[in-house]
Amino acid sequence: MKKILFRNRTVILICIMLMIGLSGCSKDQEEPPAKKEEPPAKKRERPPEYDELRAAMRLEDLNARIKEMEALKIKYPESQYMSTMESSILGARIDLSVSVDTILAHQNLHWNRQKV
């Protein structure tokens, strides 16, 4: 008896699923509204110094990096990346330092410039 009920339920469920599936295929239903094509996303505008800054950050030679960053600071005095430039210069100078005293001198000079 249980097998017959199980089979009947299975047949009923299959019939219901088929009816639902067939009703979804009916042509009388409204088609979904067509999606409007959105214009391609605008790329964020980067400041003109961005590419130059990235190139300078990739320089392996620390002396060349310092010179390039100093040149960028002069070229773009109102840059939003000014703190990045100064930090990169400080980091390169610290890496070039041979004693703790010179590191502390560079840090003091850096902090005194920021206070002004």
> Global pTM?
0.57
**Separation between Cα atoms, residue 83 and residue 114, nearest integer Å:** 9
Q: How large is the average pLDDT for residues 12-17? A: 70
As a whole number of Å, the CA-based R_g of the chain is 34
Does position 5 have pLDDT exceeding 60, yes or no?
A: no
Give percent of the chain with pLDDT exceeding 90.
37
Mean pLDDT of the chain: 79
- Span 22-61, pLDDT tens digits: 565 555 556 666 666 666 666 788 898 999 999 999 999 9
Give how far Cα 22 sits from Cα of 9, 30, 44, Å: 20, 15, 48
Give residue limits of the domains in the chain.
Answer: 49-115
